[in-house]
Each structure stands twice: as C-alpha cells, then as structure tokens.
C-alpha cells in the first residue's frame, strides 16, 4: 500500500487531486452516456502529465468499468461471434502500433492525443446517424479494428474509429452499450500489454491505477443517478463540445 501512495506523493497534492477529480468526472460521464472514461481521463490528465503516465493510471478503472458495462445486455455471445474479426485486429493493431509508434512521451504524442479527441468530438457533434451498407461489415470491421488499435497505441484513446463503426451497425441500445464495453475492454487490455512490454507500467503505476478505480466507480454511480434526471442528449452534446475544446487546446499547446 505504501508503494501505491508513494506514487501519489511523488505527483504531489495538486496533481494527485487532479487525478482523483478527473476519474470522478470521467466515471460520471460514462455513467450517463455509457462511454467517455478513457477520453475524458486521457484528455484532462494530458494537460498535466505525459500520455504514457496518464494511460498507466487509466488501465484498472477502464478495465473494471468496461467489464461492468459488458456484463449487462444479454447479447455477449452473439456480439463476440459478430465482432471477433474487429476485436482481433484491435489487438494486432495495438501491438503493431506499440512496436512501430509506441505511446511516446514527447510533445508530438500530446498533439496526437489532442487531434484524436478533437476528431472524436467533431464526429459526435456533426456526423448524422450512420448506417453501414449491407456487405461492408466483413471488411470494414477488421479495418476499423486495425485503425483503432493503431490510434490506441499512439494516444491511449480507443474510440476512433471503433465508436462510429459500432454505432453504424444498427444495434439495439442495450446491444450497442454492451458492444462498446466489449470493444473498450479488448482495447484497454491490449494497451496495458503494450505499456507493460515497453516498461511504462510497474507495481507503483498499477497500484496507483487501482486507487484511481475508487473515484471512477463513484462517478459511474453518480452518472447512473444523473441519467434519470437529466437529458442524455443534452449531456452528450455538452460532453462533445467540452471534449473538442480540450482536444483543440492539447493540439495547439502540445
């Protein structure tokens, strides 16, 4: 336990508070709209630390909350049968991206993170509901998986292009939420494996990530409560606007 706390002592009080509040907010967003924990946490933590450090803190909260999301919906077996080519390519793409690009520590990776956030926000705000033509799924799914894995390896964000692709499949709401949980779980585990391979995650980082799980779970519970009293559509619009501004800041400032 001391080694876990040593990590936060090394960060200092202000940065540790930022970590806890970030995961509380990120969990709240995920509780309301079913996604957003990795994007919010990577974006806000990217303001104060390098992407590999932020991604290491993300591993446990993202894995546990995605497994939580994955457990409900009743369509897991059917979704695995349908989406396995995409999921396999996410793993391969993340591995290839880790070997080729890696989650670097320079300003270019911070700008890449900003670009990914901005692109995701613009797609959420501007793109109309997509419907994929019949016959495209067999090749577009693996392609989206490969690209998602590459983006994950470079930025720690695994929503582009996986989320627009899954939304275009015409799934029922509960199926879509479960499909997103499945995709995010595979992406998080693949990212974690890449970070371990590059030596970016040790016992201290993993322990600190376990502690970050507490505010993330509290945020999810808060978000699920808020979902009953606020408009999810309005909340999602505000989320994308805020995410876009954050991505633009990271892209410009680096």
pLDDT tens digit sequence for 15-62: 888 899 999 999 998 888 877 888 889 888 888 887 788 888 999 999
Q: Which domain holds residue 215?
A: 2-253
Q: Judge whether residue 1 has pLDDT over 60.
A: no
Q: What DSSP string describes the chain?
A: -HHHHHHHHHH-HHHHHHHHHHHHHHHHHHHHHS--HHHHHHHHHTTTS-HHHHHHHHHHHHHHHHHHHHTSSS-HHHHHHHHHHHHHHHHHHHHHHHHHT----SHHHHHHHHHHHHHHHHHHHHPPPP-PPTT-HHHHHHHHHHHHHHHHHHHS---TTHHHHHHTTT--HHHHHHHHHHHHHHHHHHHHHHHHHTT---HHHHHHHHHHHHHHHHHHHHHHHHTTTS-HHHHHHHHHHHHHHHHHHHHHH-
Give the number of domains in the chain: 1
Q: What DSSP string describes 29-53?
A: HHHHHS--HHHHHHHHHTTTS-HHH
Q: Judge whether residue 245 has pLDDT over 90.
A: no
- Please answer whether residues 58 and 184 qualify as being in contact, where contact means their C-beta atoms are separated by less than 8 angstroms: no
Identify the residue with better confidence: 68 or 216. Answer: 216
Structure token digits, residue 23:
């995961």
- Please answer whether residues 57 and 150 qualify as being in contact, where contact means their C-beta atoms are separated by less than 8 angstroms: no
Mean pLDDT of 86-109: 80
Q: 50-79 pLDDT, tens per residue?
A: 778 888 899 999 999 888 878 776 788 999
pLDDT at 84: 96
pLDDT at 63: 92
Give the pLDDT band of residue 5 (cuts 50, 70, 90). Answer: low
Identify the residue with better confidence: 243 or 253. Answer: 243
């Amino acid at each position: 336990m001391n080694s876990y706390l040593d990590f936060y002592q090394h960060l200092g009080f202000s940065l540790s508070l930022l970590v806890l509040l970030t995961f509380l907010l990120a969990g709240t967003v995920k509780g309301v709209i079913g996604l957003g924990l990795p994007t919010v946490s990577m974006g806000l933590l990217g303001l104060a630390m390098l992407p590999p450090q932020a991604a290491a803190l993300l591993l446990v909260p993202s894995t546990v909350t995605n497994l939580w999301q994955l457990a409900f919906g009743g369509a897991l077996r059917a979704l695995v049968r349908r989406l396995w080519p995409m999921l396999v390519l996410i793993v391969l793409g993340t591995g290839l991206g880790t070997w080729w690009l890696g989650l670097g520590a320079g300003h270019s990776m911070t700008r890449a993170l900003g670009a990914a956030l901005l692109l995701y926000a613009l797609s959420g705000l501007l793109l109309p509901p997509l419907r994929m033509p019949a016959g495209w799924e067999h090749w577009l799914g693996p392609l989206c998986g490969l690209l998602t894995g590459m983006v994950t390896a470079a930025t720690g964000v695994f929503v582009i292009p996986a989320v627009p692709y899954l939304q275009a499949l015409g799934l029922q709401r509960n199926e879509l939420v479960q499909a997103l949980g499945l995709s995010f779980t595979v992406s998080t585990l693949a990212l974690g494996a890449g970070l371990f391979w590059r030596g970016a995650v040790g016992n201290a980082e993993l322990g600190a990530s376990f502690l970050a799980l507490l505010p993330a779970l509290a945020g999810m519970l808060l978000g699920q409560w808020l979902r009953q009293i606020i408009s999810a559509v309005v909340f999602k619009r505000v989320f994308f606007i805020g995410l876009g501004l954050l991505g633009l800041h990271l892209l410009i400032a680096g």
